[in-house]
Amino acid sequence: MKNFKKIAICSLAIALAAPLATLPQVFTPAVAVASPAAAQPTVSQKKLSLGEVTIYNYGKIKLHAISTKDVLADECFVLESKEGLVLLESSAFKANVQEVNDYIKSLHKPLKGIFLSYHSNGYNTYGNAPIYATEAAVASWGEKGGVKALTDNFVQVFGDAVDTNLPPKATIVKTGDTVKVAGIEFHILPTMDEDYSLEIPAINVVYRHMLGSDVHNILPSLAYIDGEIADMKAYQKKGYGLILTSHYVPEGQEAVATKLAYLEKVKELALTNKDKESFVTDVKAAFPKYQGENYLQMTADALYK
């Protein structure tokens, strides 16, 4: 997986140097139907100067899904209870980090904790709330880590707009742990790479880095694809009402079924094609409307290296 990190970093740096239209851009918030396991939320929206927020009100808990509208389509999330707020992920850019922080302050409740995994830039903007992360996530922010390398590449492309402040440490959690912050329980879930996902059982929601029902994903090996397939089947069994990701608006079970079919087809094509050119051609033919062709190319480069 470390080799894939290097492939992904190099490929993404090349992709970012290309026209930004090649990156997935998602602007329409999805309103997914919650599972019977949790109350169906009422949904509202609020425009910000740069981005916008979709607010899912579950009663005792509110989920604020912040679409930053930056060039990476970053998404981050604020959980609100009567006890306070919890931030999940940040943005890569200073202006967006500041807007997220301003929005948090507008809620007039204390920030009790921050979960950072794949997107930890600008952590210091949010004050002194404790940061929770796995050892692998913290390592990825360090000098030889994947997130640090990506941040350095972003600086080459976007310059001073990038927030280069990455946390030097965090309160360490492990996969399988349950962490209670602001009265809300968070379950730490394993991933196929070096970071972690989160389950929020009180509102029947899960966070993972990427999904996107019409976006190619980075799939570096057949084993990785099998892991993603297993995740999608687990999500169906759990019946999550919303799946939160860092580069797409919240989606529901329909997106899970769509992604499962995509993964199974991509695996089939990976097994039947002998070279990456024919693989890419066949995947594009099977999914002609999918965004993120740079991600598909990264998959091909890894599978056929």
Question: What's the pLDDT tens digit per position in 241-268?
Answer: 999 999 999 999 999 999 999 999 999 9
pLDDT digits (tens, 9 = 90+) for 36-77: 455 789 999 999 999 999 999 999 999 999 999 999 999 999
**Domains in the chain, number:** 1
Judge whether residue 29 has pLDDT over 50: no
pLDDT of 6 > 70? The answer is no
Contacts 24+ apart (CB under 8 A), 37-43: 37/204, 37/238, 37/239, 37/241, 38/202, 38/203, 38/204, 38/205, 38/241, 40/241, 41/203, 41/241
Report if residue 258 sits inside a domain.
no
Q: What is the pLDDT of residue 3?
A: 40
SS3 179: strand
d(CA 47, CA 236): 32
Residue 270 maps to a domain: no
**Residue 20 above 70 pLDDT?**
no
276 located within any domain: no
Is residue 59 exposed (0-12), middle (13-18) or buried (19+ Cβ within 10 Å)? exposed
Residue 305 confidence (pLDDT) = 85
pLDDT score for 38: 58
Residue 1, pLDDT > 90, answer no
pLDDT tens for 174-187 read 999 999 999 999 99
Question: pLDDT-based confidence at 298, cuts 50/70/90?
Answer: very high
Q: What is the rounded distance in angstroms from the CA atom of residue 58 to the CA atom of residue 56?
A: 6
- How far apart, in whole angstroms, are the C-alpha atoms of residue 107 and residue 249? 21
C-alpha 45/C-alpha 102 separation (Å) is: 17
Q: 86 lies in a domain?
A: yes
For 22, residues 6+ apart whose C-beta sits below 8 A from its C-beta are 15, 293, 294
Is residue 106, in this structure, part of any structural domain at all? yes
Domain, as residue range, for 195: 2-209+242-251
**Is 214 inside a domain boundary?**
no
Q: Mean pLDDT lowest for which of 28-32, 125-129, 182-186? A: 28-32
**Integer Cα distance of 162 and 122 in angstroms:** 9
Question: Is residue 85 helix, strand or coil?
Answer: strand
What is the per-residue pLDDT for 199? 97
Backbone φ and ψ of 241, nearest 5°: -75, -35
Residue 152's domain is classified under what CATH number? 3.60.15
Measuring CA to CA, which residue among 264, 180, 211, 196 is closest to residue 32?
Answer: 211
Position 2 scores a pLDDT of 44
Instruction: Please determine, for residue 102, whether its predicted confidence score (pLDDT) is greater than 80.
Output: yes
DSSP 145: S
Mean pLDDT, all residues of the chain: 89
- List, in sequence order, every residue forming a beta bridge with 80; answer none if it has no partner: 62, 85
Q: What is the 3-state secondary structure (H, E, C) of 265-279?
A: HHHHHHHHCCCHHHH
The pLDDT of residue 150 is: 93
Q: For residues 96 and 68, is the Cβ–Cβ distance under 8 A?
A: yes
Q: Which has more pLDDT, 176 or 10?
A: 176
In a domain, 283, yes or no: no
Residues 6+ apart with CB under 8 A from 243: 32, 205, 206, 207, 208, 211, 235, 250, 251, 252, 255, 256
Q: Whose structure tokens read 């794949």?
A: 118
Average the pLDDT over 209-232 and give the result: 94
Residues 6+ apart with CB under 8 A from 291: 24, 25, 26, 212, 214, 215, 216
Residue 187 lies in a domain: yes
Q: How confident is the model at residue 31 (pLDDT cuts 50, 70, 90)?
A: very low
75-80 vs 62-67, strand pairing mode: antiparallel
* pLDDT tens for each residue of 267-292: 999 999 999 999 999 999 999 999 99
